[in-house]
Amino acid sequence: MAKAERNASPTRAEHGSPSARAEPTELTEPSAKPKPSKPASSVQPGPATPEPVAPRRTDPAPSRAVIDAVLPSVDGGRFAVKRVVGELLEVEAHCFTDGHDKLRVMLVWHAEGDVAVHEVEMKHRSNDEWFASFKAPTPGRYLYTVVAWVDHFLSWREDFVRRVEPEDIRVAALVGAALVSDAAERASSIDRKLLKAWAAALRKQASLPLDDVTELQALALDDTSAQLMAHYPDRRNASTHTPELPLVVDRERAAFSGWYELFPRSASPEPGRHGTFADVEARLPYVAELGFDVLYFPPIHPIGQLNRKGKDNALVAQPDDVGSPWAIGAAEGGHKEILSQLGTLQDFRRLVAAAAKQGLEIALDIAFQCAPDHPYVKDHPQWFRARPDGSIQYAENPPKKYQDIYPFDFETDDWAALWQELKSIFDHWIAQGVRIFRVDNPHTKAFAFWEWAIAEIKREQPDVLFLAEAFTRPKVMHRLAKLGFSQSYTYFTWRNTKLELSDYFIELSQGPGKDYYRPNAWPNTPDILNEHLHGGGRAIFASRLALAATLAPNYGIYGPAYELMENEPRSAGSEEYLHSEKYELRHWDLNNPDSLRGLVARLNRIRRDNEALHRLSGLQFVNTDNDQLLAYTKRSAKGDNTLLMVINLDPVNRQSGWVDLSSLTRDALGIDIALPYQMHDLLSGQRFMWQGPRGFVILDPQQGPGHVFRVQQHTHTERDFDPDR
């Protein structure tokens, strides 16, 4: 929808459903009734800290192990951390005990609903911080926690090493023998015999009146026996961190994807003819050649006739105007039907299959709003808000009015039936083979609905992904990500200077959202022609493309408008396109020799071939002495792929300056900068030799957006100069 329309909804709808409805797991039947909520005045403060209770002789001793924190966690476990299949979840626990006893700490994880659990021994580093990691094998929902206990055997062993007096050593050996005997009672039959034998040997050796206790020391500190003891610890007084922390694991495309948006109705090769799914099928090789893996469509449903908008968002449509796809629904159907001019459901299913053969997934736009002639309006008027005159309230963002759109009322008394019906729209398209959805304006629908709907859908289909199209307040955008959206739009479109870009992407990659907010960067959308692109030429479009493609592992463009550099706004200061494709058919000359298609394809090939660009976590900005040069590195998790990007932010003038790598460690770069290293520009194919922390660059915006260097230690081999590398 247009930017103004994205914010268009009655004010009350912004607040979502009342607190009595904010328990999504309780919605099991459409007829479920909300629980009455207490008025604000009746809310009482929580109970005071209870007084300590005197211990009873029958109570078990409290655990001495303290688990002070488990990280990562999102809002204390209220929401899930996110990872993808094959990606490590690195867990940090802050654990300690009184005195000098030794702890053992375990990371415990399991798939939600599974009885069987997996345990990983956590390793102590410093300052009572313990670390371990695991990889979840399949998409789905998991739970993890930490268990810690005082390990008396480890404490005894460390104490035993420090003893020097023979009598002390003999007494300590007898204490150890008792610990081993206890462990034997917990052991399997074979290991029980081994442990009992070891305990007996300790007692026998300790009873010998010898001044030389070397043999006793060696027996007590036997590593093989100690490893056996580790399998049978005494965990009766263990502490367990509660609650268990949730983890949502998605497939790889949630973390790394390239999106290409097009309007199927404009896919016709003939000017003036309405495009069809068959036309889109013919265009699939073009999109695949560009290197994208997600092909995203605006709504493909029937478009309302009542109050239909005309070209350039005109209030009165002409007879041949096609209307806005976001004004969903007409006499022929609504969100589960297809606009007849595009084709049939069978045609759509064939397109989905054809796209898969080209390595593309079809993503659909889901916009929960209705045109005035949508069947829902007649069949379920209670799902919409009524005005004082009895008419239905259309969308507004005063002083603007959107008479062609009716928003749903998420505070309706029939909310449960509304929720179930909206979820069934997702279910319908999932059944047609769609696994990715871009959700329009989710911030103007009830948050509780999204938490319930996404959880229900992913419980049934864990490979389904959701992109939240919400350009709104930061906390609201983050809340949507916490509620379950797999990816989120960003403010990249409005971040243009060196400081703006570096500050924003440091926040995205290192801030608290790094464990749940997956940014998707778009330099343009059908709604947004940022003023930075107004009247701009090849240089600015190339620069913004290179930034989006290399800063964010998920990015997208609205095409063919982007590669053909559509740059004329409807009016000065407006972010709306002149002749916006949202309101009319457009014909695009894909063979225009000035197209950016070659650069798009090359950037996507670089993205695919370099794992450093597959994640946001390896991003680090580096200093330059020119504010028009933005430089940053990315390094793969395995450490075998490092890239340095240097982008010219000035679309007019040639810029030069020094790039300073001295702030990066050898681990961050993977090379020793004191020795010669090669900078292979993957955009131009050129190779440069650098040595030391600084390198000089000259960037002409008419030649390209900048450098995408692959950083390699120079080895003086012919392989370094292979032109195909």
The amino acid at residue 304 is G
What is the mean predicted confidence (pLDDT) over 631-652?
A: 96
Check whether 722 has a pLDDT greater than 80.
Answer: no
pLDDT at 225 over 80: yes
Which range has the worst mean pLDDT, 42-46, 310-314, 640-644, 669-673? Answer: 42-46
Q: Name the burial class of residue 199, with classes exposed (0-12), middle (13-18) and buried (19+) by CB atoms within 10 angstroms of its CB.
A: buried
Q: Which of 39-53, 294-308, 561-575 has the lowest mean pLDDT?
A: 39-53
Distance CA 210, CA 451 (A): 71
Structure token digits, residue 34 = 């909300």
Q: Indicate the pLDDT class of residue 30, thresholds 50, 70 and 90.
A: very low
Residue type (1 letter), 478: H
* 49: confidence class by pLDDT, cuts 50, 70, 90: low
Q: What share of the chain in percent tops pLDDT 70?
A: 91
Average pLDDT across the chain, whole number: 91
Task: Give mean pLDDT, residues 263-278.
Answer: 97
In 616-713, the DSSP E strands lie at 620-624, 629-635, 642-648, 655-660, 677-681, 687-690, 694-699, 706-713
> Contact 544/533 with Cβ under 8 angstroms?
yes
Equal fold, 86-151+237-248 vs 262-609: no
Q: Cα–Cα distance between 466 and 485 in angstroms, integer?
A: 5
CA nearest to 269, candidates 562, 588, 565, 583: 588
User: Residue 548's closest CA among 390, 684, 708, 425?
Assistant: 708
Longest dimension (CA), the chain: 110
Instruction: Please report, for the chain, the start and end positions of each structural domain, with discontinuous segments joined by +.
Output: 86-151+237-248, 153-230, 262-609, 617-721
Which pLDDT score, from 0 to 100, does residue 56 have?
77
Residue 493 pLDDT grade (very low, low, confident, very high; cuts 50, 70, 90): very high
Protein fold of 617-721 = Immunoglobulin-like (2.60.40)
Q: Is the pLDDT of residue 51 over 80?
A: no
CATH 3.20.20.80 fits 262-609, yes or no: yes
> Does residue 349 surpass a pLDDT of 80?
yes
440 a catalytic residue: yes
Average pLDDT over residues 282-297: 98
Cα–Cα distance measured from residue 291 to residue 294, given in angstroms and rounded to the nearest whole number: 10
Query: Among residues 250, 281, 361, 469, which one is catalytic?
Result: 469
Which of 244, 279, 293, 440 is catalytic? The answer is: 440
Give start and end residues of each alpha helix (H) in 576-680: 597-609, 666-669
Structure tokens at 336: 């589960």
86-151+237-248: CATH architecture: Sandwich (2.60)
- For residue 171, pLDDT beyond 70: yes
For residue 349, what are the contacts with CB-CB under 8 A and spacing of at least 6? Answer: 432, 433
Strands annotated E in 85-128: 88-96, 103-111, 118-121, 123-124
**C-alpha neighbours within 13 Å on the C-beta side of residue 188:** 4
Nearest to 73 by CA among 144, 147, 127: 144
Percent of the chain clearing pLDDT 90 (strictly above): 86
Kindly tell me if the per-residue pLDDT of 8 is higher than 80: no
Q: Which long-range contacts (CB under 8 A, 24 or more apart) does 188-194 make?
A: 191/228, 191/231, 191/232, 194/225, 194/228
Tokens 């968002």, residue?
Answer: 313
